[in-house]
Amino acid sequence: MATIFEKIINREIPAEIIYEDEVCISIKDIQAQAPFHALIIPKKLISRIAEAKDTDSQILGHLLLIAKKIAIEKNLDEGFRIVINNGPNGGESVPHLHLHLLGGRKLTWPPG
């Protein structure tokens, strides 16, 4: 069964797309935790960061560079946070690796 992110990538479910290329897609998070909250999702299904292979290193690096690019485009020059949740206790809600890019306000630590 396809994940919700695979359905978004395949245009089976609508989403507000922020960025897209051949490797990934970035969408607005519908459960925003900050004034700006985007998800950056690889088009290749990697269930979670703990399941990533050494051969996924280019994809993983690409996701971080796209997060930086989006942060610059969205004027998050005061700061931003990149989060990857892994597993149920790590806050993972969709079994498809994705980065959260949050900004637009002062972010506190620890995150919770």
Domain of 63, in residue numbers = 4-103
Establish if 80 belongs to a structural domain.
yes
Tell me how many domains the chain contains. Answer: 1
Rounded to whole angstroms, what are the CA distances from 111 to 66, 80, 81, 85, 101?
23, 13, 10, 12, 14
Can 98 be counted among the known catalytic residues? Answer: yes
Facing residues of 36 across strands?
103
34 within domain boundaries = yes
**What is the domain-level CATH number for residue 44?**
3.30.428.10
pLDDT 10s digits, 67-85: 999 999 999 999 999 999 9
Is there a domain that residue 32 lies in? Answer: yes
Return the pLDDT at 1.
85
Task: Tell me whether residue 111 is in a domain.
Answer: no
110 belongs to a structural domain: no
| pTM across the whole model | 0.94
Q: What pLDDT shows up at residue 111?
A: 77
**Could you say which of 37, 62, 96, 98 is catalytic?**
98
User: Which regions of the chain are under pLDDT 70?
Assistant: 112
Which residue, among 24, 31, 39, has the nearest Cα to 82 in the 3D structure? Answer: 39
Q: What is the pLDDT of residue 85?
A: 96
Cα 90 to Cα 12, 44, 64, distances in angstroms: 28, 21, 19
